[in-house]
Amino acid sequence: MGMPRDNDNVYNEATRNLLEKAYLEADDPRGGSGFRGDEARWERARRPLTSAIDRDGTLLDVGCANGLLMESLAIWTGEGGFRIEPYGLDLIPSLAALARKRLPHWADRIFVGNVMEWSPPSRFDFVCTNPEYVPRGRRPDMIERLLNDYLVPGGRLILCSYGSSRRTEPKAEPVSEILRHWGYEVAGESEAAGTNGVVITRVAWTDFRET
Ligand SMILES: C[S@@+](CC[C@H](N)C(=O)[O-])C[C@H]1O[C@@H](n2cnc3c(N)ncnc32)[C@H](O)[C@@H]1O
């Protein structure tokens, strides 16, 4: 991948302006990962990611914020009998610093960088990400980059989208349709709904097959 486009820098600056203060000043660890709701709601909204994890391995959370998802996935997959070793990457240095402070035992696994520029020190068995981390036109490039540069052969890319169950707020994107539309074979998918039945999380995954 070449130099970042100017558009990426503008987009990333907007992300930073939108998230940094709110995440750093949140009253609870979920707020530090951009989530509104109690622990039960967090689990309901994020547990669907564990359906993609079918073996032991390393996992990179792209956009790790304060590291809560890294922590939660390690616990939940452990309950299911798989041991994952979580790593994190975040665009915003202060959030990566917060994650390192919260998770000192994983401090050397939490990196600062833009998913479109960063080069991982080693490849991962699982990588999870969300489409909105890059401008719309760059999303297929992000998936391609994660598959080719971040994953081990046979590794799994997990694409997530989160929405709100409130009718006026954005909905989770149809990530399995998006992957298929971009030409990827979907190896599996999962979702979660809020108490009113509205889908709040969609997750779909595809495996990296070297050609
Ligand atoms: C909503 S939080 C996600 C927290 C957690 N991964 C989860 O799924 O609940 C989104 C995080 O992605 C980070 N982020 C956004 N764009 C990014 C990019 N291009 N590269 C790396 N991190 C990015 C933001 O700084 C923010 O901390």
Per residue in 74-104, pLDDT (tens digit) is 999 999 999 999 999 999 999 999 999 999 9
DSSP state of 9: H
Other CB atoms within a 10 A radius of the CB of residue 56 amount to 12
The response to whether residue 89 sits with its C-beta less than 6 Å from ligand 1 reads yes
Tell me which of 3.40.190.10, 3.40.50.150, 3.30.420.40, 3.30.2040.10 is the CATH number of domain 6-207.
3.40.50.150
Task: Tell which one of 5, 15, 72, 115 to mutate to probe ligand 1, the residue whose CB is within 8 A of the most ligand atoms.
Answer: 15
Mean pLDDT of the region 42-64: 98
Nearest CA to ligand 1 atom 24: 63
Each domain of the chain, given as residue ranges in start order, spans 6-207
Report CA(33)–ligand 1 centroid distance (Å): 8
pTM: 0.96
DSSP state of 114: -
Report CA(133)–ligand 1 centroid distance (Å): 7
Mean pLDDT of the region 8-28: 95
Instruction: Copy the structure tokens of residue 127.
Output: 């990588």
The Cα–Cα gap between 18 and 23 comes to 9
